[in-house]
Chains A and B, each alone.
Chain A
Amino acid sequence: MSRPLVFMMGKSPAILPTDRRYARNHMWASPADGLVRVGLSAYAVRLLGDVQHLEWSVEAGADVASGGQIGYVEASKATSDLYSPLAGRIARINPQVLAQPDLVNTNLYDRGWLLAFHADAADLLSPEQYLAHLEAAWPLAQRLLKGPLGRQPQDNLSLRGTGDFPCPKTSP
């Protein structure tokens, strides 16, 4: 296998193996036993933190559309609905990951696979295309993470627009 690609999330590298394809929704897809296994990319896992709980709203044998909602993940930093990265029929759900969700963190590109599909992954992104997608989406992803949160200062009190004093670095 050629060297993996790396996307830097701040100072944290998200490793992207080049032996598989990727979906825009931050899942990887890789052929195994005549099926296509899918799992979360390192980018997704980094945003989520430690995966604590996974649940599926679909069962083996179900036909799903690309982008269709298939489950839910809860992790230490975030939660998310999960969406199918491709169209096809679900062949298997990884029972090991359901029993031990932290496999997604510890072995995300191998034993941490989530579902196996009867499907064709040819339309998904190459690792290079996925890397470009991450680079393009990163500023927006950050803005999405920031969101309209928190208490806004009162409208009638303006905030200083500039400030140039360097705060001294202190040590406890």
Chain B
Amino acid sequence: MPENISVILSEPRPDDPGVEALADSLAERLAGRPGLRLARVANLYDLEPAGPVMESIRRIEGDLVVLSALYPRATFWTLKTAGVPGCLADRGESAERAIWCLRLHPGADAGEILGQIDRIVARAHGGATTPGPGGQPVRPSAPAHQRWYPVIDRQRCSGCLECLNFCLFGVYGVDAAGGLLIEQPDACRAGCPACSRICPEGAIMFPQHVDPAIAGDDKASLEGLKLDLSQLFAGADPSVMATAERDRALAAVETREDSRGGDQLDDLVDEMDEMDL
């Protein structure tokens, strides 16, 4: 009897709107479904590669279905970077086991996703399936930290090392063979996707970025992400540019403090109201 296919459900982040309910619905409907074994894990992108959850994923044998709010390419390369063996399913013949990455998004239909999973299971088992373990897996607790780091599509990366030279934060390094290494992923500046823009091959993804092309959407084009270099081409003196940058940062801090000040004032007024003076 063939082994049940493992289905991994990656918890959406709280800031993935509309996906939480979809994940809950899928978890409920996948539990005990024939031919598969469901595991709910914390958000894959936030998992530590050396941690126990990723270790348990690395140990899984046979085809794998991964449900995640990330784009499939980002999910796949997040797993590969963490050392999970396999090839992206539906990308030609490969001797490696297939990893099916299905994306959970607010517009996704639970029934359609279940249908896809059923087809994957049927294809793997030739129709012969065994009942899955009963009971719904417990929803895992969220990791303590939301991470932000680049995920490299190794199929696209040409090893030019432009990212290594461009990054000011020491994220990238080279391995003994001179290949690109994500040496310090968590040294990456939160929210900064700049290296993905300068990558000539479009190989660098930031799976949590709002722009689909940076987040790993195959259908989106980096062409739409054109930078406006007018400031640079106006020939501003570097010190003038630095001053302008500092002033912008300062203004952002002052705006935050202003709004915080308003909150404090509101709180004070509320407290006085409650005192009924």
A residues lining the B interface (CB < 8 Å)? 9-12, 23-26, 44, 47-48, 67, 74-83, 85, 136-137, 139-154, 157-172
CA distance A153 to B248 in the complex (A): 20
Interface residue B231 (Cβ < 8 Å from any Cβ of A): yes
A143 contacts B232, C-beta separation under 8 Å: no
B139 interfacial by beta-carbon distance below 8 Å: no
In angstroms, how far is the closest chain A Cβ from the Cβ of B216? 14
Instruction: Determine chain B's interface SS by DSSP, over half rule.
Output: loop
Inter-chain CA distance A10–B165, complex, in Å, is 5
Q: How far is the CB of A144 from chain B (nearest CB, A)?
A: 6
Cα A142 to Cα B237 in complex, Å, equals: 14
Q: Which residues of A contact B80 (CB under 8 A)?
A: 170, 172
Contacts of A136 in B (CB 8 A): 238
Closest to A145 in B: B194
Contact across chains for B181 and A166 when beta carbons are under 8 A apart: yes
Residue of A77, A139, A163 contacting most chain B CB atoms (<10 Å): A163
Task: Given contact pairs A153-B190, A166-B183, enumerate 16 new A-B contacts (beta carbons under 8 Å).
Answer: A10-B162, A25-B233, A76-B226, A81-B230, A83-B235, A137-B241, A140-B242, A142-B168, A145-B198, A150-B209, A151-B191, A154-B15, A163-B186, A167-B82, A168-B81, A172-B154
A162 with B146, Cβ < 8 A, contacts A150-B206, A150-B210 known: no
- Majority secondary structure, A binding face: loop
Fill in one digit per residue for B139-173: 1 if any A CB lies within 8 Å of its CB, else 0.
00000011111000011000011101110100001
27 CB-based A-B contacts, threshold 8 Å:
A10-B198, A11-B161, A25-B233, A44-B233, A67-B235, A77-B227, A79-B227, A80-B228, A80-B229, A137-B241, A140-B238, A144-B232, A146-B194, A147-B194, A150-B191, A150-B206, A150-B211, A150-B214, A151-B210, A152-B190, A158-B145, A160-B186, A166-B181, A167-B49, A167-B81, A167-B181, A170-B81
B22 within 8 A of A: no
> Do B235 and A23 touch across chains, with their CB atoms under 8 A apart?
yes
Contact present for B145 and A157 (CB under 8 Å)? yes
> Complex: how many Å from CA A140 to CA B232?
10
